[in-house]
């Protein structure tokens, strides 16, 4: 424990100086005792590099955790080995659960027990699910919003009572709204200000007005949030997606993003998790350019991984432009820096939010181009041009070949891929759910279009029909995912562009090599047939690729690529 004490004490001093050292010493005693309780069975420290992540809302996917247990076979059959549970903690659900009202309780509607059930009974339902997932080789991580709470959280309810309430300093209060004026408005078009009036004072929020920001200048907030993480670590989760971490620390005269003490706070969380259970994933949701995101990986002492936000829109641009250049440019060291050996990018095509086109990491020209090519309905416009609220199938005009191609690109490029529930069978936007949520929340938040429930009876019929759109998408994605999980090249191997076909911009071709084994990936980004002369490469392979496809050639021996076709070829 000595090294950990010194590390945590160093971070504490960087943030608070010598303030409230007795709180830190008391915390040391807590985690010493907890270390004996937590299951410390050896776990592969970088397991997340070989993961394929499946992102779900429990209620929309399967009603509750009992229902989710019943769907573990479906998830396992996808080839997935990690589930990312979108917000499950207690919440009034005004922002899909990212407005947390109790960090140590799961929403009762997800538990499926009678209202008078005990906290232990409720927790055991979740732990039963974790156990059954683990039996199938599936790890589980979940969301935790560490920047803000719900305005219905006990801390905030107390905080707003009076200026001398013990919880007042858990949040950021001011006599007026003149502070932190350089902090950008994140929910442009939905929130007019970062300040909300309550009584004679104002409280600060970066997101909706019912999500007050926590005040990490108060050391008690840091320790309480650490205890929240520890609680779920003790109960068996494999990691956390740290929501909205760039905004943790605020300084007057700055934009209140990516400040040095924000990084120190994240280091503190990481050191606590590493002490109690090494290998517990801390995933950065930092919606920033790669050179900022990589700072949240630190020197392997902050987050283990971070989302590669800029790569996502550039994959869409590449397909629309029928050119490999946007992807190759984004993955060049000019845009994406090298990351520490133990770290990883997380990649995605779609998620629970909009197709984000924030100018933080998307140039105005690209934002306009992608919006024009993919926002097929004015209703999908999000944040006045800075995003598109649409499912992958909608963005791709329900073309199974384009969807399959997009996944081939995402699943084979460097990083750990995330599949958003329903995209594996081409789930569409859900207008009914969107309208329900407007009535429930009072917010016209078009991100609700990309959520919605799964009708399993209807889906089963469609998947059993091999000619259905859903079945065509599902067969492609499940085949790709299963092959990916069988080959560590994709999560760990190096990337080498195939220079011999560089002149054909419509082709994205590269090798992924790991421990002497190479896999050649070839993607036709265009809507036309292409021939590729691979004779100069002097590469050799079998007649079928890893996906089971025959490799057709013309009379000159060139590889024939149909429109939107892709091959994953193991070299011999």
Active site residues: 243, 285
Contacts (Cβ under 8 Å, ≥6 apart) of 219: 12, 15, 16, 19, 20, 23, 24
Q: How far apart are CA 518 and CA 511, in angstroms?
A: 6
- Distances in whole angstroms, Cα of residue 505 to Cα of each of 245, 283, 362, 509: 37, 34, 21, 10
Q: Within a 10 A sphere around the Cβ of 543, how many other Cβ atoms? A: 9
Burial of 536 (0-12, 13-18, 19+ CB in 10 A): exposed
Q: How far is CA 150 from CA 95, 146, 213, 469, in A?
A: 9, 11, 9, 40
Measured CA to CA, the distance from residue 566 to residue 451 in angstroms comes to: 29
Contact (CB, 8 A) for 507 and 561? yes
**CB within 8 A of 255, min separation 6: which ones?**
182, 183, 184
**DSSP H/E element including 523:** strand 517-524
Do residues 280 and 229 make contact, with C-beta atoms less than 8 angstroms apart? Answer: no
Handedness of CA 92, 94, 100, 104 (dihedral sign): positive
Alpha helix ranges (H) inside 38-71: 58-62, 65-70
Chain centroid to CA 536: how far?
Answer: 40
Angle, in degrees to the nearest 10, between helices 260-276 and 21-37: 30
Task: Please tell me what DSSP assigns to residue 467.
Answer: T
Whose CA is closest to 219, among 264, 275, 284? 264
Whole-angstrom Cα distance, residue 310 to residue 308?
Answer: 6
DSSP label of 148: B
Let me know the angle formed at the C-alpha of 96 by 53 and 80, rounded to the nearest 5 degrees: 10
The secondary structure of 323-355 as a DSSP string is -SHHHHHHTSTTTS----TT-EEEEES--SS-E
Could you give the CA distance from residue 313 to residue 317 in angstroms, rounded to a whole number? Answer: 6
Q: What is the spatial distance between Cα 395 and Cα 507, in angstroms, rounded to a whole number?
A: 21
CA distance linking residue 78 with residue 137, whole number of Å = 13
Q: DSSP class of residue 448?
A: G
The span from the CA of 532 to the CA of 496, in Å, is 18
Q: How far apart are CA 75 and CA 377, in angstroms?
A: 31
* 485: phi then psi, degrees, rounded to nearest 5: -70, -20
Q: Cα(89)–Cα(148) distance, rounded to whole angstroms?
A: 13
Cα–Cα dist 210/98, whole Å: 11
């Amino acid at each position: 424990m000595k090294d950990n004490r010194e590390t945590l004490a160093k971070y504490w001093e960087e943030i608070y100086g010598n303030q409230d050292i007795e709180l830190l010493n008391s915390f040391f005693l807590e985690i010493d005792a907890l270390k004996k309780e937590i299951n410390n069975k050896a776990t592969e420290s970088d397991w997340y590099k070989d993961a394929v992540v499946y992102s779900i809302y429990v209620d929309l996917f399967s009603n509750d955790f009992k229902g989710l247990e019943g769907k573990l076979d479906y998830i396992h059959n996808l080839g997935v080995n990690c589930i990312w549970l979108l917000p499950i903690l207690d919440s009034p659900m005004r922002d899909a659960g990212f407005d947390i009202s109790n960090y140590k309780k799961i929403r009762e509607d997800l538990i499926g027990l009678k209202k008078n059930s005990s906290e232990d009974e409720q927790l055991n339902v979740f732990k039963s699910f974790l156990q059954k997932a683990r039996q199938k080789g599936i790890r589980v991580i979940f969301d935790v919003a560490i920047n803000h709470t719900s305005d219905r959280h006990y801390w905030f309810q107390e905080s707003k009572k009076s200026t001398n309430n013990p919880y007042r300093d858990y949040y950021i209060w001011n006599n007026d709204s003149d502070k932190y004026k350089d902090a950008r408005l994140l929910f442009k078009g939905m929130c007019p200000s970062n300040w909300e009036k309550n009584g004679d004072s104002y409280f600060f929020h970066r997101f909706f007005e019912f999500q007050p920001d926590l005040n990490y200048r108060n050391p008690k907030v840091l320790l309480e949030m650490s205890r929240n993480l520890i609680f779920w670590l003790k109960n068996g989760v494999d990691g956390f997606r740290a929501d909205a971490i760039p905004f943790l620390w605020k300084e007057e005269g700055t934009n209140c993003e990516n400040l040095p003490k924000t990084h120190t706070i994240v280091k503190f969380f990481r050191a606590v998790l590493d002490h109690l259970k090494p290998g517990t994933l801390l995933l950065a949701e930092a919606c920033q350019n790669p050179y900022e995101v990589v700072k949240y990986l630190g020197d392997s002492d902050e987050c283990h991984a971070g989302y590669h936000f800029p790569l996502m829109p550039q994959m869409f641009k590449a397909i629309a432009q029928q050119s490999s250049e946007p992807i190759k440019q984004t993955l060049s060291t000019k845009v994406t820096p090298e990351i520490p050996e133990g770290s990883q990018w997380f990649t995605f095509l779609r998620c629970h939010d909009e197709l984000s086109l924030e100018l933080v990491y998307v140039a105005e020209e690209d934002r306009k181009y992608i919006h024009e090519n993919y926002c097929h309905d004015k209703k999908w416009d999000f944040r006045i041009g800075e995003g598109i609220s649409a499912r992958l199938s909608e963005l791709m005009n329900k073309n199974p070949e384009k969807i399959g191609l997009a996944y081939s690109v995402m699943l084979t490029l460097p990083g750990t891929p995330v599949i958003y529930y329903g995209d594996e069978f081409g789930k569409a936007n859900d207008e009914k759910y969107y309208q329900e949520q407007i009535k429930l929340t009072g917010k016209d938040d078009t991100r609700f279009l990309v959520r919605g429930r799964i009708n399993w009876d209807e889906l089963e019929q469609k998947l059993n029909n091999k000619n259905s759109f859903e079945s065509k998408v599902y067969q492609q994605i499940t085949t790709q995912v299963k092959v990916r999980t069988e080959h560590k090249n994709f999560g760990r191997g190096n990337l080498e562009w195939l220079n011999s076909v560089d002149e054909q911009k419509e082709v994205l071709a590269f090798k992924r090599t790991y421990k002497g084994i190479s896999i050649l990936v070839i993607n036709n980004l265009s809507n036309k047939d292409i021939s590729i002369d691979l004779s100069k490469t002097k590469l050799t392979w079998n007649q079928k690729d890893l996906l089971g496809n025959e490799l057709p050639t013309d009379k000159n021996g060139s590889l024939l690529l149909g429109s939107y076709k892709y091959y994953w070829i193991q070299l011999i």
